[in-house]
């Protein structure tokens, strides 16, 4: 091991410098944000964002979605659980109702959180508090319903999305105003929206859906039921406690 006195200064004689004007730069002032004048519309807010990193990506994806919707193209929305957990379900539902989003694909965590929103209007646990006590991810109603839908889908060979919608126990806010006098408005769940609107559930596993209001909608979950339920329903050690 070298001692401190054995270290030699770095040799800087081979370093070549360049001028700031000739050097390639990723950001210039044309990319900067603009102050938003009072009374501006949301379009103005978008245009005022900087043309860098996440802001640039956001504006690009918005432009692509708008172009696809205007051109009657398929917009298949793939997402995990966080859009649900941070309260964006009403926005996604509005885009579905207006025919912008025409297909929706979620992972398992998204299913869990959306089902809990549909049933009780609340979701998401504190990991640190529950994990050490063995109390994380063991909610009875959630496990029983989802496992039951998986088993039903396995028996019929249909998709998980279809069976989640068919048997979903819809919850209703006690003091929420109703848009229709004869129907109460359910919690803003994505699966619950399909159930509430009475869509053609036979189309739920298709990749493309007809573009008509409230019709032919679906969540792209085909193929999940058979494979996952096979492991959940074999023997008492796997899935027995959640049998419905």
Domain residue spans in the chain? 40-73, 75-242
Q: Residues 136-192: pLDDT tens digits?
A: 888 999 999 999 888 888 888 877 777 788 778 877 787 655 554 445 668 899 888
pLDDT band at 20 (very low <50, low <70, confident <90, very high): very high
Does residue 235 register a pLDDT over 60?
no
Does residue 85 register a pLDDT over 90?
yes
Does residue 244 register a pLDDT over 70?
no
Would you state the pLDDT for residue 196? 67
Contact 96, 193 (CB under 8 A): yes
Signed CA dihedral, 138, 142, 145, 146: sign only: negative
Q: Residues 94-137: pLDDT tens digits?
A: 998 888 988 888 888 999 999 999 999 999 998 888 888 888 88
């Amino acid at each position: 091991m070298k001692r401190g006195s054995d270290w030699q200064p770095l040799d800087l004689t081979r370093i070549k410098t360049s001028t700031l004007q000739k050097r390639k730069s990723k950001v210039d002032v044309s990319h900067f944000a603009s102050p938003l004048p009072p009374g501006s519309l949301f379009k103005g807010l978008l245009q005022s964002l900087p043309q860098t990193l996440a802001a640039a990506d956001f504006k690009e994806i918005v432009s692509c979605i708008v172009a696809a919707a205007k051109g009657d193209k398929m917009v298949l929305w793939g997402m995990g659980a966080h859009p649900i957990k941070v309260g964006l379900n009403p926005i996604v539902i509005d885009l579905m109702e207006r025919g912008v989003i025409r297909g929706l694909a979620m992972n398992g965590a998204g299913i869990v959180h959306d089902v809990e929103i549909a049933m009780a209007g609340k979701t998401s646990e504190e990991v640190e508090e529950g994990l050490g006590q063995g109390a994380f991810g063991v909610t009875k109603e959630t496990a029983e319903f989802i496992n039951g839908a998986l088993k039903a889908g396995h028996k019929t060979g249909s998709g998980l999305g279809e069976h989640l919608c068919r048997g979903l126990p819809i919850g209703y806010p006690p003091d929420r105003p109703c848009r229709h006098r004869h129907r109460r408005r359910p919690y803003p769940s994505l699966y619950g929206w399909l159930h509430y609107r009475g869509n053609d559930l036979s189309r739920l596993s298709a990749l493309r859906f007809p573009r008509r209001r409230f019709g032919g909608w679906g969540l792209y979950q085909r193929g999940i039921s058979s494979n996952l339920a096979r492991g959940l329903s074999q023997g008492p050690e796997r899935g027995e406690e959640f049998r419905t």
